[in-house]
Amino acid sequence: MRMYTASGRSRWPYVIGAVVGVLAIAGGIAYASTRGGDTPAASSTPSSSPSAPSAAPSGGTSGSGDNEDDVAPTGCLGGPDRTVAMVLAAQKDAKHTAFGAVEVATAFYRWLWQSPYPSQSDAQQVSAAVMSPSAPSSFADIAGQYATIKNPTGGIVPDGVPFYTSTTNGLWQIAETSTPDRVSVSLAAGYVIDGALSPTEVAVAGYNMVWEQGSWHIASGINVDQTKLANGGTRYTGGC
């Protein structure tokens, strides 16, 4: 069920389009600054991936996954820690549903978007487990991206200040074009900067999730329509 105010807008404490949005794109970890009603533009074009089966969208036409036989996304599958073990647990426990795809995308992003960065060994382990074989090599090489990008927030968080994201007040949305084996997920999570949840700064990400080898994997990043996510996104039922 969607969470709306009387005006029909999601109960989201931040106006996503009015702040700097952060996006993990197909070319790798990068940031795209947007203000007002603009939508961030990816710096590279996602590579093609295997065609999806012609089945009914697993997210339903509402984009809220309301036709799913599964528990709505908590935003905390795998546990509250931002570790490799959390990501792998979420991937293992997530069902073959659109909700499951949302949970794995969320777990990955919670792990990815933090500073200090995870170790190179952890990054390689997550890449090997979560990235699809069809993912662009530059996108799948998380360790390489960590090694070359000093501050992925583009200045939202000052250099050297620790941060991570919280899904406590987060939003998620499923694209209407999704199918049972390929689900496009957009999500937003609040920044926790130097231990405090920011009242204004929001991190936004989107992923094409594919079901293969018995679990959800990431095929590529997607550009997020921040206005659509803010207006029609669904709150996580829990969050951490």
Pair of tokens at residue 56: 């009914």
> pLDDT averaged over the chain?
79
Q: What is the pTM of this model?
A: 0.78
Let me know if residue 49 belongs to a domain.
no
Determine the pLDDT at residue 26.
Answer: 32
| More confident position, 30 or 21 | 30
In a domain, 135, yes or no: yes
Number of domains, the chain = 1
Better pLDDT: 28 or 102: 102
pLDDT on residue 184: 98
Render pLDDT for 176-193 as a digit per residue (tens, 0 to 9): 999 999 999 999 999 999
The predicted pLDDT at position 12 comes to 41
Question: What is residue 68's predicted lDDT score, i.e. its pLDDT?
Answer: 53
DSSP assignment string, 86-117: HHHHHHHH--SSHHHHHHHHHHHHHHHS-BSP
Residue 74 pLDDT level (bands cut at 50, 70, 90): very high
pLDDT for the residue numbered 141: 96
- pLDDT score, position 38: 34
Tokens representing 156 are: 């939202």
In a domain, 145, yes or no: yes
Predicted confidence (pLDDT) per residue in 197-230, tens digit: 999 999 999 999 999 999 999 999 999 999 999 9
Spatial CA neighbour of 117 closest among 144, 90, 77, 137: 144
- pLDDT value at residue 216: 98
CA distance 203 to 34: 12
DSSP-assigned states of every residue in 140-198: H-HHHHHHH-S-TTTTSS-TT--EEEEEEEEEEEE-TT-BTTEEEEEEEEEEEETTEEE
Neighbours of 159 (CB within 10 A): 9
Residue carrying the six token digits 């994997």: 217
Q: What is the pLDDT of residue 69?
A: 67
pLDDT digits (tens, 9 = 90+) for 118-167: 999 999 999 999 999 999 999 999 999 999 999 999 899 999 999 999 99
Asked if residue 160 is part of any domain, the answer here is yes
- Full residue range of the structural domain in which residue 222 is found: 16-44+56-235
Question: What pLDDT does residue 70 have?
Answer: 84
